[in-house]
Amino acid sequence: MFVRLLSTAALAGGFIATPATPGPVSPVTTLKYKVGIVAQSTIDLTAMGAGEQKNTSGFTGFFTMTLKDTAGGKALTMVLDSMAIDSATQGQAQLQAAADSSKGSTWRGLLTEQGKIDNLVLVQGGPGAQQFEAVLAGFFPRGAAHTKKKGEVWTDTLSYSSTSDGGSTNIKMMTTFTAAGEGMYGAAKALTINTTSITSSVGSQEGPGGDMQMEGHGTGVGVYYVSKDGQYLGGTNTIDSDIMITVTQAPAPIPLKAHTVITVTGL
């Protein structure tokens, strides 16, 4: 029947239009990463009559990233394939349930030619997804690191804002990058990029007992491993932070010290 319709159209119009040649399709690059975060904190609740409390938590996320050429860089999509709570001082079962419900969380943004992710947005996510947002915002070494020669030093300032139910966080990180030359990452040759950073953050959270305000400062050291063609292979970052928390119930600000280790592994 379809052939007959085409023949009738040709007779009536004198020709059959040639299908338009489709434009070139931008290739899609797919990458897999494992992101591990271990956070240790000490909060001093002396002002509330409770003394110091120490907490440790560790969690791992497995991600699939896709990159597609677009104006200004590459359109980036990052999906949380799975998340595991490796350790927790308390409530590990409840935390794992929240992590399980976060499977499929998806972020989109623009990866610029300088390695910065602009306009990162969580378009679909569960409660555990927020644990990774700040890490993803600064995921890649900025400044086209794979083009640098040994000994070159450059800086970049990353600003990121995040909102959640009843809360918000604003983070600013100034990072100094140093090209340390060629080394090995596993069995692969890689360019080694060392970093030092200074971080400031402010945040707020609404709660049944009143609002909570947070202000913090921190320092960090890290290393990125990058292939010669610019692919991020993996790295680590360690951040030590001092945070002051103000809550309605406390007569004085509550100090919190945090030590966080982030490890990224290309799969």
Domain boundaries along the sequence of the chain:
26-266
Percent of the chain with pLDDT over 70: 90
Taking the C-alpha atoms of residue 84 and residue 236, their distance in angstroms, rounded to an integer, is 19
pLDDT band at 21 (very low <50, low <70, confident <90, very high): very low
Across 46-55, 127-136, 251-260, the highest mean pLDDT is recorded for 251-260
Q: Which amino acid is present at 92? A: Q
Predicted structure pTM score:
0.85
* β partners of residue 70: 73
Residue 8 has pLDDT above 70, yes or no: no
Residue 14 has pLDDT above 60, yes or no: no
pLDDT band at 193 (very low <50, low <70, confident <90, very high): very high
pLDDT band at 18 (very low <50, low <70, confident <90, very high): very low
Q: State pLDDT tens for residues 145-175.
A: 888 999 999 999 999 888 777 788 899 999 9
User: What's the order of all strands across the beta sheet hosting 52-70?
Assistant: 117-124, 106-112, 73-88, 52-70, 28-44, 254-266, 232-247, 212-226, 188-205, 167-185, 153-164
DSSP 189-249: EEEEEEEEEEEEEEEEE--TT--EEEEEEEEEEEEEEE-TTS-EEEEEEEEEEEEEEEETT
